[in-house]
Structure 1
């Protein structure tokens, strides 16, 4: 990893992800803190859309940053930092789903789905003195979240990365290790499915 001279070290807000990783590799902990601040919330939201459990998403995001920390010296800037980060998070999230599936087979008397509102409650910001608005927002979030959750995983994850996380098609393709054309096709398929499910509720 390239060395960053002291003259290039400030301010950290204007430093690229690659440079922040280089600084952290040299022992500047503030650089890693800056990366966590930048990506923590988007990463939690991304993982939550996969595992449908906000607390688990927070844990997975934390584990993702731990993996980044452990592999700092192995990081190479051939791909963007965000591509590397989201790939780690995506793999951890899928591993969590696989563990849940195994637990379900072991204990069939446990409910298969968590019916709590943990996957949506962090998005609810309607004022307490406007119950009608709050109720409408809760219902809309449930409708959209259910529709997205019902998508097959091969469609759901590319859609989340592109339309919710705002990543370019090229970056989504790198994260998922898929050809760009395949990514576009799956995202278009996901959008079409959502249009059919949501009708007038959502424009995609």
Structure 2
């Protein structure tokens, strides 16, 4: 395991996503040591680490498991899970490693569940600050004078899946097939792209 973590660290230092994925082959998606390494690297600004972290959180099922403990509707669980990944991507810079990654993620899921239940109970539209990340992004895109202006600022890697999901309404599986990417990769890239839109759209290469 130490050798795999070492190989992962070297790949992340080089920004090599392919080699990083190879280093993680055979390692359970729930492995806390790997999640911790990815989260700390992502907090330092590694986009490869952020994408891999989102992929492994999705593949492990931990986010859905946390959401399912509070919700029963599959659609609501899907929404909360995606909102959680968006929140992880946008707030990863605040992770300091003081707790397990799964503990940190669980707190985010809990907040997103509260947001979801609040929206369900509401009888009037919520102000923008009270909306969950994906709802804020949808609102931003819908009210911008030019949709292209918002999307043009996204790198191609994230723009394509975001357009297919949020504008064309395609299911994740079809997007993965169209783009010839894994389902986990597509979900993480959509979450990352939405987070970039919500934070003002910065080119991840500038942060590398």
TM-score (norm 1): 0.41
Larger Rg: 1
TM-score (norm 2): 0.41
